[in-house]
Amino acid sequence: MAKDKKTKTAIYHPPKKGMPYMVVTVSPEGVTATAVESKDEARILASKKTLRVLVEDNRENSDVVKQKATPPSP
């Protein structure tokens, strides 16, 4: 039987004063690391549930490359 792959989150305390806390999440989709300033922020971020969002493109030609936005000339 295959084991279910679950998302795991860990909070790493800063090694020195003035450095940020790190919130690291490991999931089947990959690893994310976020730096936050306080222990409270780290606990809030770690406690949030992750939602998977599916975005569909309904344009006729989805292979169109987006061009850089250029400011209007005066």
Domain-wise residue ranges, the chain: 8-47
CA distances from 39 to 4, 11, 29, 53 (A): 30, 9, 26, 28
Q: What pLDDT was estimated at residue 16?
A: 92
Q: What pLDDT was estimated at residue 62?
A: 47
Q: Is the pLDDT of residue 68 over 60?
A: no
Instruction: Give the pLDDT confidence of 10-51 residue by residue, as tens digits.
Output: 999 999 999 999 999 988 888 999 999 999 999 988 887 655
CA distance 63 to 26: 31
CA distance 25 to 45: 10
Q: What pLDDT was estimated at residue 40?
A: 92
